[in-house]
Amino acid sequence: MQKSLFASAAVAATLLAAPLASAADLTLYSGRGESMVEPIISQFEKNTGISVAVRYGDTAQLAVLLQEEGSRSPADLYWGQDAGAMGALSKAGLLAALPEDIYEGLPGIYTSETGNWVAASGRARVVAYSPERASDDELPESVFDLTDERFEGRVGWAPTNGSFQSFITAMRVEHGDERTLEWLEGMKDNGAVTFRNNTTQVQGIADGEVDFALVNSYYLPRFLGSDAEFPVEQAFFADGDIGNLVNVAGIAVLESSSNQEAAVEFVRFLLSPAAQQYFTGNVYEYPVTRDVIQNPVLEDFDRLLEVSPQIDLDDLEDLEGTLKLLREAGLL
């Protein structure tokens, strides 16, 4: 994620002009939606007596704003929706080192090798499908199988969606730009159906528009939460396949923060059993610690560790290169 990609004058001016509550103990820039995280922030305030002012916005745009503000930023904390944004800020030298004990007991897929951010929750990429129109023996072993003729016109994807773009960045890291471009062009030539986002893909399967879709793991459980008979299922690809990418929402303390002690306390709270139980029970995301009762609609945590590819999440910061490749494939 390069500053030049996002930092238009209009975006920067809009974010800088947005009002932010003052006189709080901590200032948090959150790329996670208010409805999703406000309850857990309020619980932190209640438990600790530490007040938190929150600026909500797009993950990438807030990352650009932090780069614009530099050491003048009022932010103490940054909560990003994906690892790419965390890696970009880490590379820019804007994040403070976290205490080493924060990482103790966390699986490698949830940690940063730089030591200056940590995952607060996770989700996996999966293939969603119609059990009525796709038999078990039709399920692809690899995401690369989806360019086969048998999947022609049957697969949904969302090339403009941020989570899909993070997945493509991971594919580039794992398999290189040449093979990734070949896959993108193969999918396009095979009649992949374009949707706006993950939600519309899952609904598209139920509506008969496609038989398969590439989505994040927590969307189908939300549909099932309101309709137990919703006619869609999901599965992982073969163990280690890049199609099973585990991405995370990350939390970091800003190097420029004048209240790093309280900021670290917030990070620790997000890793606490209470917060982790909220993420898995209410948001349908994977917890990063084992001290919780995992949501039964999610795949077993140990199974997640088995299927996930081993990717250094800090390497997912090159969104600009991914957008360039998507344009080259004629998808943007």
At 208-265, the pLDDT tens digits run: 999 999 999 999 998 998 899 999 999 999 999 999 999 899 999 999 999 999 999 9
Q: What is residue 19's predicted lDDT score, i.e. its pLDDT? A: 45
Instruction: Select the more confidently predicted residue: 305 or 174.
Output: 174
Q: What is residue 142's predicted lDDT score, i.e. its pLDDT? A: 98
Q: Average pLDDT of the chain?
A: 90
**By C-alpha distance, which of 157, 152, 154 is closest to 167?**
157
What is the rounded distance in angstroms from the CA atom of residue 282 to the CA atom of residue 280? Answer: 6
C-alpha to C-alpha distances, 11 to 21, 33, 293, 294, nearest whole angstrom:
20, 18, 41, 39
Q: What is the largest CA-CA distance in the chain?
A: 60
What is the rounded distance in angstroms from the CA atom of residue 256 to the CA atom of residue 77? Answer: 10
Q: Is the pLDDT of residue 11 over 50?
A: no
Structure-block tokens of residue 204: 């598209």
Stretch 16-32: mean pLDDT: 72
What is the rounded distance in angstroms from the CA atom of residue 128 to the CA atom of residue 133? Answer: 12
Q: What is residue 280's predicted lDDT score, i.e. its pLDDT? A: 93
Q: Is the pLDDT of residue 109 over 90?
A: no
10: confidence class by pLDDT, cuts 50, 70, 90: very low
Q: Is the pLDDT of residue 112 over 50?
A: yes
Looking at the domain 123-245+321-328, which fold is it? D-Maltodextrin-Binding Protein; domain 2 (3.40.190)
CATH 3.40.190.10 location in the chain? 3-122+248-314, 123-245+321-328
Q: Is the pLDDT of residue 152 over 50?
A: yes
* CA atoms within 13 Å, Cβ hemisphere of 184: 28
Looking at the domain 3-122+248-314, which fold is it? D-Maltodextrin-Binding Protein; domain 2 (3.40.190)
Q: What is residue 23's predicted lDDT score, i.e. its pLDDT? A: 62
Structure-block tokens of residue 142: 């690899």
Structure-block tokens of residue 95: 């994040």
**By C-alpha distance, which of 331, 322, 311 is closest to 168?**
322
Q: Indicate the pTM of the whole model.
A: 0.82
2: confidence class by pLDDT, cuts 50, 70, 90: very low
How would you label 166-178 residue by residue, b for 16+ Cβ within 10 Å and e otherwise? bbbbbbbbbeeee
pLDDT in tens, 289-304: 888 888 888 888 788 8
pLDDT over 70, % of the chain: 93
Q: Is the pLDDT of residue 22 over 80?
A: no
Q: What is residue 319's predicted lDDT score, i.e. its pLDDT? A: 83
Stretch 146-165: mean pLDDT: 94
Q: Is the pLDDT of residue 136 over 90?
A: no
